[in-house]
Each structure stands twice: as C-alpha cells, then as structure tokens.
Amino acid sequence: MNVTELAGPSIDMLRPASRPDPRPARGEALIRLRAGSLNFLDVAIATGRYPGIGFPIVPVADGAGEIVELGGDVGGWAIGDRVIPHFMPDWPGGAMTPAMFAARRGVTVQGSLADFALVPAASLVAIPAHLGYAQAATLPIAATTAWRAVRTARLGPHSTALLLGTGGVSIFALQFAKAHGARVIVTSSSDAKLERAQALGADLTINYRSIPAWDVEVMRLTDGLGADLVLETGGTATFPLSVRSASMGGTVFVIGFLSGASPTIDVLPIMERQLRIQGNNTGPVADLRDAAAAIAAHGIVPVIDRTFPFRDAAEAYRLLADGGGHFGKIALEGE
C-alpha cells in the first residue's frame, strides 16, 4: 500500500513510501482510509518537540474511512461501514493505565497517511450519518477532548465556559458547551476569528492581544464570578490567568502547551477558590463514541478551516505549525 512516511523530526522529511498490504487478524478490522485531520500533536512530532518517536513513522493520529475486511471474532461491524478508528485504540473506557496508553495512532503505531489501517475493531466508532469522511476525521483527538472538558465541568444552563483560542479543541468545546446550554466566552488573537466564534454561538469574546489582562475582563463580564470551566490550552503564557479567571469550585481543564509547558503557578487562588485543576490526555473510545452521539443528536457540524489532499500533507503541517492561521480544524483527504 501507499503511505506517507515521516522519516525524522522535520516537516521536510515527509515522503512517499510503500508498505506491505495489511491483513486483519482476530479482533481486527482493515480500514480503507479516506481522510485525516491534523492536531498540534502531529506538528510537535514533525518539529522535534515530542520525544521518543521511533522514526520513520506513518504519521497523523486522526482518521476516518470504511471497513474493507474483518478478522475473526468481530461482531457488530460489516464491510462498508463508515468508521472512525480511535487515537488510543487500547483504551476502551474508565481510567487510563500505562498499557492502554502504549498504542497511539500516528505516534507509536501506524497513523492515517496511508491507504489502509489495521486497527482493533473495539476501537471503532460509527461516523454520524450527517458527516463526510473529512468531517469525521476531525473527531478523535479534538472532539473527544472537548467533550471530556464539558462533561468534567458538568456544564449546564447556569454555567460559563471560557475557551482559550479558536483551534480545534476550543471550537468543538464551543459547540458542545452551547449544546449543554452554557454561556461561552471565547478568546482569540484575531477579531475576525472572534466574529466567526460568535456566529457559532459564542456569547462573549475577548481579544487576548488587545486585552492582555483578559482574566480581569472575564471577571468583569461575569460580574466577578468567573468561569466554571476554563479550557487551558496555552500553558506558560495563559495558566496563571486561567486560574484567576475561574469561578469558586470551577474547573481548569489543563490540556495544552501552545506557549510552553512551564508556567509559574500561584497556589493561593487555587486554594481560595477551591479549584479543580484537571489534567487530561485525550480520552478513551467510550468518550469518542459519546462525543459522536452528541454530534449526531445536535446536528453539530465540525468546523474545518481548510482541507488538503494527503499528497500535500506538508503544506497542511506548515499551516498548523505557523500557528494562528486557522480556525477550527485542518483536514486531509485521501485520493
């Protein structure tokens, strides 16, 4: 089969290659890959910011396609089913263990820049009927993570969510938070992106470039109460402000390191406000399945900024690596 390999930690080291055609063993499904999507993780790997990668790899964690062959002892799936193989295929649900974390598509096992993928059938989630392959391929990392953020913070009609930036996770979190009836504040470096967020239902917006003390602005906008959920994507530059933006008993959902991973932490507001500082690492198959069900029930359409053919993956990587050039997700489509 045809694949695109990443031969080393540089976007310039993406190259076409071929690998043996895979056949499914017991419990496995063979997927004809139709689409993928990029995450910051993929860029981190391709720019040498993610240690421990055994190059060459077939990169890209997220994908979607159709089942073309099933191994023995697989129930509930049929040839031709449209499916999403989950990023962490061995984590079915519940708490993660080191063994469940070992297999990660596009990191430690083959990813989506290929004609086919061999995956455990138990890691598959059905594509919601209203989504195409590229839209479905945006779900595994970003939608699962956003879903967990919204559910962990138990958002409801009386809650406020503060979402940092307008990348893939934040925009899914906006859609899920609105589906839960919450009020949503979105921050961005760009007024044009904030307008797009408003069109998707954001109630309040803050440009974090023109208002660097956005934590003060969050408190002003919430009558001094703060946000029940802060989606902490920024790391070093944002974590202290995220903590100061949270409500009493609020959740700071720590997922990102867009500006670095070593913030200086003031523990006093964490104690005084009795905050929950909740770390997260994507989520299990069960959460992807729930996120997909919510997307189907609410008719949510994933927001794709641009779509590139697999063969132009390097261009897509560069768009994400440049930072700030996109809104929502960047998708990839197979030939």
| CA-wise closest residue to 42 among 173, 167, 133 | 167
| CA-wise closest residue to 176 among 277, 282, 291, 256 | 291
What CA–CA distance (Å, rounded) separates 159 from 12? 45
What CA–CA distance (Å, rounded) separates 175 from 168? 11
Binding site for ligand NAP (CB under 6 A): 39-41, 141-142, 145, 164-170, 188-190, 193, 208, 233-234, 237-238, 255-259, 280-282, 320, 323-324
What CA–CA distance (Å, rounded) separates 60 from 223? 43
Q: Which CB, 2 or 189, lies closer to ligand NAP? A: 189
- Minimum CB–partner distance for residue 70 and ligand NAP (Å): 30
CA dihedral 8, 170, 284, 50 (to 10 degrees): 20
Q: Which CB, 145 or 307, lies closer to ligand NAP? A: 145
Whether 29 contacts 119, CB under 8 Å: yes
Q: Which CB, 260 or 309, lies closer to ligand NAP? A: 260
Cβ-proximal residues to 260 (8 Å cutoff; 6+ apart), any chain: 235, 236, 237
Q: Which CB, 73 or 322, lies closer to ligand NAP? A: 322
Q: Which CB, 2 or 190, lies closer to ligand NAP? A: 190
- Minimum CB–partner distance for residue 20 and ligand NAP (Å): 32
- The closest residue (CB) to ligand NAP is 167
- Minimum CB–partner distance for residue 216 and ligand NAP (Å): 16
- Minimum CB–partner distance for residue 232 and ligand NAP (Å): 9
- Minimum CB–partner distance for residue 41 and ligand NAP (Å): 5
